[in-house]
Amino acid sequence: MNTTVLVVEDEEALATLLRYNLEKEGYTVVTTGDGEEADMLVREVNPDLVLLDWMLPGISGIELCRRFRARSETRNLPIVMITARGEEADRIRGLDTGADDYITKPFSTTELLARLRAVLRRIRPALAEDIVTFGEVVMDRSAHRVRRGDREIHLGPTEYRLLEHLMQHPGRVFTREQLLDSVWGSNVYVEARTVDVHIGRLRKALVRGDEKDPIRTVRAAGYSLDEQFPN
Ligand code: CA
């Protein structure tokens, strides 16, 4: 399998180092230090993952990330942000913009490669396959059925789409606004708290007795499937 990574990094020494290490791992690497060019390259080379520096001259990494998320063809493009900032507010802002993960400078090559593999593993199979699994929750997208263990889960259409979206991006935190856009569609006027209502129904359907709740509420941010869930 040939995996192409687009590296968007204006520090040349770091870009060169990233290229060297990624190529050594067998990735095909395309690099640029320019945000606008990155936007063009995404359309041209259709990368499997973008490694995106937060601080770029001209258009910032975060703005670029926002652009990718706003377009349907790049909505699910795996993005790992490289950031020099480690503060909680910035981390939430990064996730809020739609990055799948981020890594803080300075980082080791080993750590970076592990992050990339994890992001690719959790995103790509789920996008391509009919059967999506998260712990004991199994969704058959062709049959439109959901099971938890042996139990059939009956969901309304909105809860189904909500779960499908979360299962396609396990571990990623979505804000209510992002869920509204992806699940309800951006042309529909629904209040953000509607998301809470449907998350509540989804939880009720998925969790019985003392079963673990697969959905994590992230305070001041939104919801995600809990990476700790499958044990
Ligand atoms: Ca930079």
Q: What is the pLDDT of residues 187-224, one digit of tens each?
A: 677 888 899 999 999 999 999 999 999 999 988 788 98
- Asked whether the predicted pLDDT for residue 159 surpasses 90, the reply is yes
CA of 2 to the centre of ligand 1 (A): 27
Q: Is residue 101 one of the residues assigned to a domain?
A: yes
Q: Which residue shows structure tokens 């063809």? A: 73
CA of 10 to the centre of ligand 1 (A): 5
Same domain, residue pair 148 and 78: no
Domain CATH number, residue 55 = 3.40.50.2300
CA of 9 to the centre of ligand 1 (A): 6
Q: What is the pLDDT at residue 195?
A: 94
Same domain, residue pair 63 and 170: no
Q: Is residue 32 one of the residues assigned to a domain?
A: yes
Q: What is the pLDDT at residue 175?
A: 85
Same domain, residue pair 168 and 101: no
Write out pLDDT tens, residues 53-111: 988 888 989 899 999 988 877 888 899 998 876 666 666 666 677 888 888 888 898 99
CA of 65 to the centre of ligand 1 (A): 15
Domain CATH number, residue 188 = 1.10.10.10
Q: Is residue 230 one of the residues assigned to a domain?
A: no
Same domain, residue pair 120 and 149: no
Using 50, 70 and 90 to split pLDDT, how confident is the model at 153?
very high
Same domain, residue pair 102 and 216: no
Separation CA 29–CA 145 (nearest Å): 39
Residue of 118, 225, 115 lying closest to 173 (CA atoms)? 225
CA of 42 to the centre of ligand 1 (A): 19
CA of 215 to the centre of ligand 1 (A): 35
CA of 26 to the centre of ligand 1 (A): 25
CB 90 within 8 A of CB 65: no
Q: Is residue 231 one of the residues assigned to a domain?
A: no
Same domain, residue pair 23 and 137: no
- Asked whether the predicted pLDDT for residue 1 surpasses 50, the reply is no
Residue of 102, 114, 1, 123 lying closest to 55 (CA atoms)? 102
Q: Domain total for the chain?
A: 2
CA of 135 to the centre of ligand 1 (A): 38
CA of 84 to the centre of ligand 1 (A): 9
CA of 80 to the centre of ligand 1 (A): 14
Q: What is the pLDDT at residue 80?
A: 93
Same domain, residue pair 41 and 143: no
Same domain, residue pair 85 and 97: yes
CA of 49 to the centre of ligand 1 (A): 18
Same domain, residue pair 29 and 106: yes
Task: Name the DSSP letter for residue 174.
Answer: B
CA of 125 to the centre of ligand 1 (A): 31
Residue of 72, 96, 89, 81 lying closest to 177 (CA atoms)? 96
Q: What is the pLDDT at residue 147?
A: 96
Q: Which of 96, 127, 158 is the last residue of a domain?
A: 127
Same domain, residue pair 108 and 72: yes
CA of 28 to the centre of ligand 1 (A): 22
CA of 53 to the centre of ligand 1 (A): 6
Q: Is residue 46 one of the residues assigned to a domain?
A: yes
More confident residue, 184 or 197: 197
Q: Which of 85, 101, 127 is the last residue of a domain?
A: 127
Q: Is residue 30 one of the residues assigned to a domain?
A: yes
Q: Which of 127, 151, 184 is the last residue of a domain?
A: 127
- Residue 114: domain span: 4-127
Residue of 144, 156, 167 lying closest to 205 (CA atoms)? 156
Same domain, residue pair 120 and 217: no
CA of 79 to the centre of ligand 1 (A): 16
Write out pLDDT tens, residues 170-181: 777 888 988 887
Q: Is residue 186 one of the residues assigned to a domain?
A: yes
Q: What is the pLDDT at residue 73?
A: 74
More confident residue, 91 or 1: 91
Same domain, residue pair 123 and 15: yes
